[in-house]
Amino acid sequence: MDKKEKSTSDNTKQMAVQCWLEEHRALRAVIELHFTTMRYLVIFNIAALGTISGLILTDMENNMWLALIVPILSAFIGFLVYFYSKQISRLGHYIRDTIAKRLHDLVEDEEVIGWESHTREEEKERNKLLQWFSISGMSLLTFILTSTFALIFTAKQTFLEGAVWQIILWITGLILTILLIPAFISERKFWFGEETRTNKEQT
């Protein structure tokens, strides 16, 4: 290979590295945005629960029905948190399995873009119980426990004294809370166990 061909090859490699790095930066920005959105969702849920609890305590006899909103609201926000968590995991897998591997080949350095792999390996080495205590996992668990408490708290009054629409709200909250449980379980499995579609196709 003469100098001109070598220079062209080096330029092509440099351009490829730059393209992969730009994509990596863009995806990391998306991940940060999703994390921020998740935090705001959790804060909104806490604020809403506090408001509802305050209204119930000020006039428990007339405002007890507001507790029926809690399972529906918590489940709705919980599903949004699950969606963003899954997107973050998918992006992290793509960075680890595609971008990092391409850059490893181009720069001949296995330690380049190693955060996603390092994070998952570090989490896998933790105690099995502690692996459930991720930000999104704990958020989903909190939503499930809050909804369950609200359902238990309102069950007797709803079915003995409540109107039809209150019973419908209670049943809807129960269904959404039950549906949130597999989302909580699959969130952990997706984070630790699944590979990206691109990686599966390559193998």
Extents of the domains making up the chain: 3-198
SS3 163: coil
What's the burial of 27, exposed, middle or buried (CB within 10 Å: 0-12/13-18/19+)? middle
Confidence (pLDDT) at 58: 92
Q: Is there a contact between 117 and 195 (Cβ–Cβ < 8 Å)?
A: no
Q: Is there a contact between 193 and 89 (Cβ–Cβ < 8 Å)?
A: no
Torsion, CA 126, CA 84, CA 110, CA 201, rounded to 10: 110
Q: Is there a contact between 79 and 180 (Cβ–Cβ < 8 Å)?
A: yes
**Helix pair angle (69-94, 164-192), 10° resolution:** 20
Confidence (pLDDT) at 31: 92
In 10 A of CB 151, how many CB atoms? 19
Query: How would you write the pLDDT of the chain (203 residues) with one tens digit per residue?
Result: 555 555 666 778 888 888 988 998 999 999 999 999 998 998 999 999 999 999 999 988 888 899 999 999 999 998 998 889 888 888 888 888 888 888 888 877 666 666 666 555 555 555 555 555 555 567 777 888 899 999 999 999 899 988 899 999 999 999 999 998 887 777 666 555 544 443 444 44
Tokens 């996992």, residue located: 137
How many contiguous H segments (helices) and E segments (strands) does the chain have? Answer: 8, 0
CA angle, corner 81, sides to 80 and 86, nearest 5? 100
Confidence (pLDDT) at 169: 94
Confidence (pLDDT) at 199: 43
Q: Is there a contact between 78 and 144 (Cβ–Cβ < 8 Å)?
A: yes
